[in-house]
A and B are shown apart, each in its own frame.
Chain A
Amino acid sequence: MRRTKTLEIWVGLFVAMGFAALLMLAMRVSNITSYIDNEGYEISAAFENIGGLTVRAPVRVAGVRIGRVSDIRFDEDTFQAIVTMHIEAQYDRLPLDTSASILTDGLLGENYVGLEPGGEEEYLKDGDRIEITQSALVLEKLIGQFLFSRSQGSDK
């Protein structure tokens, strides 16, 4: 009888450790927090070009992550990309004239939406649209423009 007891203790310990490891993988390693946090509000913005932006990309103000991209759609009337962003509930005081631009994290990093707060007294609410946007910088276009201006300059 004594043997079964120690055996059961060991198995209990094993199972507990297994679940602790699973819990650590879920809480510490993965993005479970972004699933739990359903409070907050959605704002959207229209961009000419979103570059490599993907759903679940971070939304940052002053480099601090305040939300994530929840949806990306293409509007066939304006030919623009509509990016919907989920902002955490605690950051509810973004001015109405906040501007949004798509930036890249370092030279090789992922794309994210950077918000630049304006000076308006009123704040963005759920469902609001950010009016001032700046598209992603597409490297090929920049190189194209650079080469074009170079060749124009050498003609003169």
Chain B
Amino acid sequence: MIDTLQQLGAWALQRLERLGRSHLFILRVVVGLPELLARPGLVVQQIFAIGVLSLPIILVAGLFVGMVLALQLYNTMVNFGAEQSLGPVVALSLVRELGPVVTALLFAGRAGSALAAEIGLMKATEQLSSMEMMAVDPLRRIIAPRLAGGILAMPLLAAMFSAIGISGGFVVATGLLGVDSNAYWSQMQANVDLFDDVINGVIKSVVFGMVVTWIAVFEGFDAIPTSEGVARATTRTVVNSSLAVLGLDFILTALMFGDNG
């Protein structure tokens, strides 16, 4: 009985300690962020690795999500004679929810796992400790550019996801289902608000970008320096950041859209 209790306590303390470590870690990285202004090349490299290389999957996923959304919603809405509202419904669900969330989930799978594996391997092959020996702070040289790249790339990816999704919905709605093309856009403009919807969506995606990259770099940095440890860190990155994104999304949605719906 006491043993179980002790195990539970040890487990909880371990978790708490890890959480605290990750916060101290991110704090030290964030303090190092301004120095990157002097070396933008490092960030550009990371935007390439994180953003540009994630582009194909984001664009294809966005296109198909938009098209499926239009197809499915049309079948229900046509029963109420409300197919004119297809545009705003597709646009709102993409801009507010699906754009940031699905992009963040794909981002965690595509970029987050790569980040964790890369940093974990750097640690396993002792590149990080040799950097420290040369008086180069790996947090500033390795971690900070990646965090900055993630925060910058994620909102742009989410915007592209939403934009291509809405265009895909447009193609299906007007080409396949016969919705009036002017109604699609004008109803959308009448119902989508720049600040309430579009800007809030961008804020969401910035937060998700920060959280996913944070989890990825911390898991990599904190990995046990063996091949098994790196594998576990990669898995944990994808699982934890997906859960964090979904949980945070609920909180952010409640804060942003909760009061007036």
Chain B residues whose CB sits within 8 angstroms of the CB of A26 once the complex forms: 194, 198
The interface size of chain B toward A, counting residues with CB under 8 Å, comes to 35
Chain A residues with a Cβ under 8 A of chain B: 4, 7-8, 10-11, 13-15, 17-22, 24-26, 28-33, 35, 56, 58, 106-108
- Minimum distance in angstroms from B204 CB to a CB of chain A: 13
B145-157 vs A, CB cutoff 8 Å, 1 = contact: the mask equals 0000000010111
Chain A residues whose CB sits within 8 angstroms of the CB of B91 once the complex forms: 29
Q: Which of B87-125 contact A (CB under 8 A)?
A: 91, 95
Give the docked Cα–Cα distance between A43 and B80 (Å).
35
Is the beta-carbon distance between B95 and A58 smaller than 8 angstroms? Answer: no
Give the docked Cα–Cα distance between A106 and B202 (Å).
33
Chain A residues whose CB sits within 8 angstroms of the CB of B224 once the complex forms: none
Chain B residues whose CB sits within 8 angstroms of the CB of A28 once the complex forms: 185, 189
B36-60 vs A, CB cutoff 8 Å, 1 = contact: the mask equals 0000010011011001100100000
Is the beta-carbon distance between A58 and B192 smaller than 8 angstroms? Answer: no
Is the beta-carbon distance between A106 and B81 smaller than 8 angstroms? Answer: yes
Give the docked Cα–Cα distance between A106 and B3 (Å).
69
A-B contact pairs, 6 of them (CB 8 A): A14-B153, A17-B160, A29-B95, A29-B166, A33-B189, A106-B81
Contact partner, A14, options B51, B84, B95, Cβ 8 Å: B51
Give the docked Cα–Cα distance between A22 and B51 (Å).
16
Residue in B closest to A112 when the chains form the complex, CB atoms: B190
- Minimum distance in angstroms from A89 CB to a CB of chain B: 19
Chain B residues whose CB sits within 8 angstroms of the CB of A19 once the complex forms: 156
Does B193 sit within 8 A of A, measured CB to CB? yes
Chain B residues whose CB sits within 8 angstroms of the CB of A24 once the complex forms: 163
Chain B residues whose CB sits within 8 angstroms of the CB of A33 once the complex forms: 189
- Minimum distance in angstroms from B139 CB to a CB of chain A: 23
Chain A residues whose CB sits within 8 angstroms of the CB of B166 once the complex forms: 25, 29
Give the docked Cα–Cα distance between A27 and B48 (Å).
27
Residue in A closest to B154 when the chains form the complex, CB atoms: A18
Chain A residues whose CB sits within 8 angstroms of the CB of B45 once the complex forms: 7
Chain B residues with a Cβ under 8 A of chain A: 41, 44-45, 47-48, 51-52, 55, 80-82, 84, 91, 95, 153, 155-157, 159-160, 162-164, 166, 185, 188-190, 192-194, 197-198, 201-202
Q: Determine chain A's interface SS by DSSP, over half rule.
A: helix
Q: Determine chain B's interface SS by DSSP, over half rule.
A: helix
Residue in B closest to A16 when the chains form the complex, CB atoms: B156
Give the docked Cα–Cα distance between A10 and B53 (Å).
10
Residue in A closest to B185 when the chains form the complex, CB atoms: A28
Contact partner, A22, options B47, B52, B80, B202, Cβ 8 Å: B202
Chain A residues whose CB sits within 8 angstroms of the CB of B80 once the complex forms: 108
Apart from A30-B193, A31-B190, what are 5 other A-B pairs with CB-CB below 8 Å? A14-B51, A14-B156, A22-B155, A25-B198, A33-B189
Residue in B closest to A8 when the chains form the complex, CB atoms: B44
- Minimum distance in angstroms from B170 CB to a CB of chain A: 10
Is the beta-carbon distance between A21 and B188 smaller than 8 angstroms? Answer: no
Is the beta-carbon distance between B156 and A15 smaller than 8 angstroms? Answer: yes
Nearest 4 Cβ contacts at the A-B interface = A18-B156, A21-B163, A21-B159, A30-B194
Is the beta-carbon distance between A25 and B156 smaller than 8 angstroms? Answer: no
Residue in B closest to A58 when the chains form the complex, CB atoms: B190
- Minimum distance in angstroms from A114 CB to a CB of chain B: 15
Chain A residues whose CB sits within 8 angstroms of the CB of B84 once the complex forms: 106
Chain A residues whose CB sits within 8 angstroms of the CB of B193 once the complex forms: 30-31, 56
Is the beta-carbon distance between A18 and B160 smaller than 8 angstroms? Answer: yes
Is the beta-carbon distance between B192 and A30 smaller than 8 angstroms? Answer: yes
Among A15, A17, A25: residue with most chain B CB under 10 A = A25
